[in-house]
Structure 1
Amino acid sequence: MEKQFNREEELMKRLLNEAGTETPSADFKKRIMMAVENRNVTVKPYQPLIPKFMWYIVAACMVSAVAGLYAMYADISLSWSFDLKIPQYLDMPRIDLSRTMQYAIAFVALFFLEIPFLKRFVDRQYSL
């Protein structure tokens, strides 16, 4: 393996020595700078990836989650009774799914919900 690597290395050195180095013309830098200046490029203003209102939503979710956990374990009773009289003929069947299956369904649902948002984001980024 090492002999093959050395042969390839020697071959590359020999080929590079034969080819030599190229030197650019005298006005190369000037032509490049003129080409860059002639481009009509508009600079888009900075926009954060996550807007402010989304940060407020994330903060509200975090606060409600912490408050909910506190209420669950602090022996605070929030018993609201909504007496919904559901007739017997509207009784829904009970579906028992394993915890793994519930996670799988949730993951797939979130995945399919996220695809349109990502597609719209990518379309907006590369449509310019």
Structure 2
Amino acid sequence: MEEQYKDIKRLVKEAGTEDPSVDFLRNVMSDIRATSVDKSVAYQPLISKKAWLVMGVLLIGLLISLPFLSEGTWILDNMDFSFFNGVENPFAGFKLYSATMYGIIFLAILFMVQITVIKRRIDKIYSA
């Protein structure tokens, strides 16, 4: 086992250690100063304000329309899909039960609360 390491030891002794130049620290520090960041990073959100507005309007419209849909009546039942030649209404037998409606409303409310809590936490963490 020692024989395999003898060759490595010999190579390390032949190579020796390399000493840095006298002004190594000064050169490194001058390079660091030259590459310092002068521009601040501009914040750009992933989702634009228009997209948030559209999603909010759709969500509010859904939340407002859900309570008015009683069991057995569905808006899409009355739509005419005859412009798609030979396609029947895919929502013909769909029923929106009140439990489903309340579940969707409850999840939407929890989602909005969660978004506001997470936004406050992120603002607190990343505020300078």
Taking structure 2 as the reference length, what is the TM-score of the superposition?
0.36
Taking structure 1 as the reference length, what is the TM-score of the superposition?
0.36
Question: Which structure would you say has the larger RCO, counting Cα contacts within 8 Å and 6 or more residues apart?
Answer: 2
